[in-house]
Structure 1
Amino acid sequence: MGEDSLSGLVSELKMAVPWGHIAAKAWGSQQSHPVLCLHGWLDNANSFDRLIPHLPKDFYYVAMDFGGHGLSSHYSPGLPYYQQNFVSEIRRVSAALKWSRFSILGHSFGGIVGGTFSCIFPEMVDKLILLDSTPFVLDSNEMENLLTYKRKGIEHTLQVEEAKEPSRVLSREEMLQRFLKNNSHVGEECGELLLQRGTTPVATGVVLNRDRRIAWPEHSFDFVSRELFVHSIKKLQAHVLLVKATQGYYDVRRVHDKDKECVFLIIDKLKSVLKERFQFVEVPGNHYVHMNQPHHVTGIISSFLQSRDSTPARL
């Protein structure tokens, strides 16, 4: 498919929520079947700019900015950024767009939020695509740390609120270099793309848009037990495609990244529970393969979206 197949149809959306608005960008026709695209931790809707133009034209792709990210409003003072809040944002967006059934394409944290939503509202999601992601995070490596994360999350929020420091102004180049240093899997071109939506120009440079209360994913993630994970995926009505990058991440906390047991356990359980409704594909690339080398994943995602078997087989 040509690179410009959908690029001329991009529009910006703003959906009202009690604390302000959720921003999104859309490709394609509203009359087509909807696909909600969910970005990773600290990223924004531009995460999908290099992927969606290559996907089938007969879908309506909406990439939202989670609250406190990109062009979406920050949460009200005192309100924390917990995973459940992000899950409820999907329900708010689908209600605003009057969607009763749609597909989800989620990268990293977006896949975890989208996966959780798909188990809580199973009748609403026909297809779930996970890009270097899993539908939940297991607690296997984290049991000792879970209470510490909750404590640190609260303390960090209070510190940011108390400090009331103005957003730091940096030159565009300095902002990019800091961003690339903190995101080793993002190339320079993709880093610039994410910062386009993730920063606001001011007189002397740029400032980050994201809410500084959002700092570490482990403060917001809901880690679940194996039992809760298996119980939850049994609720799924969606067909699930999990695309794993060979050089991608295997754990929320990078200190455990060499331990691949959790991811393989999740894949094994998805296979045994969903059977023919689950597909697992490995592709060469790192955690941002959908941005760095979109051609590695476009064919797989396109085939999955266009496949007709969107309802579970009845025995």
Structure 2
Amino acid sequence: MDALELCRGRVAALTRRDGDLRVLALHGWLDNAHSFLPLSGHLDGLDLVAVDFPGHGLSAHRPDGVPYHFDDYVFDVLAVLDDLGWARAHLLGHSLGGAVSTLVAAAAPERIASLALIEGLGPISAPADRSAAAWRRAVEGSKLRPRRVHAERKAAISARMRGSDLTVESAELLGRRGLIEVDGGWQWRHDLRLTWPSAHRYTEPQVIDLLAGIEAPVFNIHSDPPTGLLDRRLLKRRLAALRHSRASLACPGGHHLHMVHPDRIAPTLLEHFRRHDC
């Protein structure tokens, strides 16, 4: 895939311009555009652009004093579409990227031809009566701290795998775009403010309303066995909230299943994009 800079250099991207089906790929939290490299080799016929969200990969960090609010990614995505000159496109989102995609589709339905969501059918929700506690955690946890330097690259890869189901191969691939060598070792490039606790989450009724507002066809791909991101009952409820064309596929491989088994999901992704391109 070829490198590309968008939004006056603030957003970095990788492209595979192999066709006329316009697909914007949005990665997960603390990942980067390399998340879609394994899949891209199986997606012939697409004009595929995979971005690094602000603060991730090779994209610019937000200015000092500007926090990373989940909602702001919606405006980032629309700005990227404008910069590409795409009045309408398909969105391929994983995890955070899938959650952002649902908001974009609900907020600007005329811009989205279809959605393909991998482990990302809507944002994480929280009950309304946990709002004060969330704010207290956010205030306490939103403090600058020294960035960790790993003496060896292997240690940095291991640190990224900790607490996740990333394979060594997947973490290495993310590290090729996300790691930088510094004095004393290796650091991950992402903005440390991305790890600060969130002060605000949508309630589940709000998420259901957003999903119900999506007019584009939705193809949902989730891990089997489940990763715990969404339990089966919640997934079923969210799928039922979609009012228009929807399809669902279960695939092994964990939360980053698109990196582990790209060959298993690529054919159905291509079929989905081609069927709903207009």
Considering the TM-score relative to the shorter chain, is it more than 0.5? yes
Per the alignment, in what secondary structure is the counterpart of residue 68 of structure 1? coil
Does the 8 A contact of 1:132 with 1:248 survive in 2? Answer: no
| Per-residue Cα deviation, 1:190-245 (whole angstroms, up to 9, x for no partner) | 110001111112244211100111115x617642342x334333432211000111
> How far apart, CA to CA, are the structure 2 residues paired with 1:220 and 1:286?
28
Query: Cα–Cα, structure 1 residues 58 and 47, in superposed 2: closer, same or farther, change >3 Å?
Result: same
| Per-residue Cα deviation, 1:259-288 (whole angstroms, up to 9, x for no partner) | 432222101222xx22xx111121223111
> How far apart, CA to CA, are the structure 2 residues paired with 1:16 and 1:123?
21
In structure 2, the residue matched to 1:291 is 259
Query: Matched residues, percent identical?
Result: 26
How do 1:1-315 and structure 2 match up within 5 A? 10-16=1-7, 21-29=10-18, 32-55=20-43, 57-139=44-126, 142-157=127-142, 159-160=143-144, 163=145, 165=146, 168-183=149-164, 185-215=165-195, 219=198, 222-226=201-205, 228-251=206-229, 259-270=231-242, 273-274=243-244, 277-307=245-275, 309-310=276-277
State the aligned residue count: 278
By how many angstroms is 1:250 displaced?
A: 3.6
Q: Which runs of 5+ in 1 are unaligned?
A: 1-9, 252-256
> How far apart, CA to CA, are the structure 1 residues paired with 2:221 and 2:60?
31
Counterpart AA for 1:131:
I
Worse overlay, 201-210 or 90-99:
201-210
> How far apart, CA to CA, are the structure 1 residues paired with 2:128 and 2:209?
19
Q: Which runs of 5+ in 2 are unaligned?
A: none
Counterpart AA for 2:269:
I
> How far apart, CA to CA, are the structure 1 residues paired with 2:158 and 2:150?
14
Give TM-score, length-normalised by structure 1: 0.82
> How far apart, CA to CA, are the structure 2 residues paired with 1:284 and 1:224?
29
Does the 8 A contact of 1:200 with 1:208 survive in 2? Answer: yes
